[in-house]
Amino acid sequence: MKKNVLLLIIALFCCGMAASAQGRAALRINEVMVVNDSNAMDDFGKRHGWIELFNSNHAPMEISSVYITNDPENPKKYPVPLGDVNTRIPKRQHVIFWADGQPSRGTFHLNFILEEGKDNWIGVYDANGITLIDSVTIPAKLGRNQSYARTQDGAGVWEIRNDVGEKYITPSSNNVIRDQNDKIAMFKERDKNGFAMTIMAMAIVFSALLILCLCFLAISKIGESIARKNKLQAQGIAHDSIDDHDAVGHDTGEEIAAIAMALRDHFDAHDQESTILTINKVRRSYSPWSSKIYNMRHLPK
């Protein structure tokens, strides 16, 4: 028994590790800045080069124990520490690592820097230090306060961005800035007057009401069937031995009314009342009921 429990624990652990590894395969290097003079600042108010990672999964991802490096010969150069709640990246979200060479400042401060005027290779390795998750080479021509980014989050080709036109530098944000929903815009273009939206809304409401009515009807039929079966069972009658027409519970309203009237005539339940009318005299010196001041007209003075 203990051996089976141990094997089950090992299997669950291996499944969890496999699922974690499969999830980390969706981790992407999304945007990089080598020299930062006037862009984003870290939690100490300092400006350094930075590396943005993106979780392209549609589920949260824990990135602790992965490795970030700028040396392909040293894949385990910077291990992302365990125990930091901020290493859990929500779905389709970003996280920034500062290339300042000061890892003592916190989890998101790397132990290396990016060098200006030369190609900078950056790689992200899985927890085993062997599996390369993602990598990119930053070209030497990248200028100050420029970033090297994907055209889309976690996908697309790489391009140089300098905040000119639509090439925005977007640390910890989407590489494509959208001010409207594409589907809403398309629907608005095709249905300018809103007739289709009205018809769809009414169809949804009436369909929901119809489904609700059918559900109530089905529930009432099921309740009626259960009640009829219980009534037959209480009378000791087999349900299969009678037809549906003769089954208990098929009494009409007219039959019930006739039975009720017959019972009323049979019992004639009515109070026996006396026909004597008794008037008792009330001895009072004054009664407003017989006062003349309330029924005679007062003459004006």
Distance, C-alpha 269 to centroid of its chain: 64
For residue 215, pLDDT beyond 50:
yes
Distance, C-alpha 61 to centroid of its chain: 18
For residue 178, pLDDT beyond 80:
no
Q: What is the pLDDT of residue 164?
A: 84
CA distances 141 to 69, 131, 135, 159, Å, are 21, 29, 18, 12
Q: Exposure of 100 by Cβ count < 10 A (0-12 exposed, 13-18 middle, 19+ buried)?
A: buried
In this predicted model, what pLDDT tens digit does every residue of 4-22 receive, in sequence order? 656 666 655 554 544 444 5
* C-alpha to C-alpha distance for 43 and 98, rounded to whole angstroms: 10
Contact yes or no for 122/32 (Cβ under 8 A): yes
Contact yes or no for 63/125 (Cβ under 8 A): no
Contact yes or no for 142/148 (Cβ under 8 A): yes
Distance, C-alpha 290 to centroid of its chain: 79
pTM over 0.85, yes/no? no
Distance, C-alpha 160 to centroid of its chain: 37
For residue 62, pLDDT beyond 50:
yes
The structure tokens listed for 12 are: 């669950």
Mean pLDDT lowest for which of 18-32, 69-83, 267-281?
A: 267-281
Domain boundaries, the chain: 26-179, 180-263
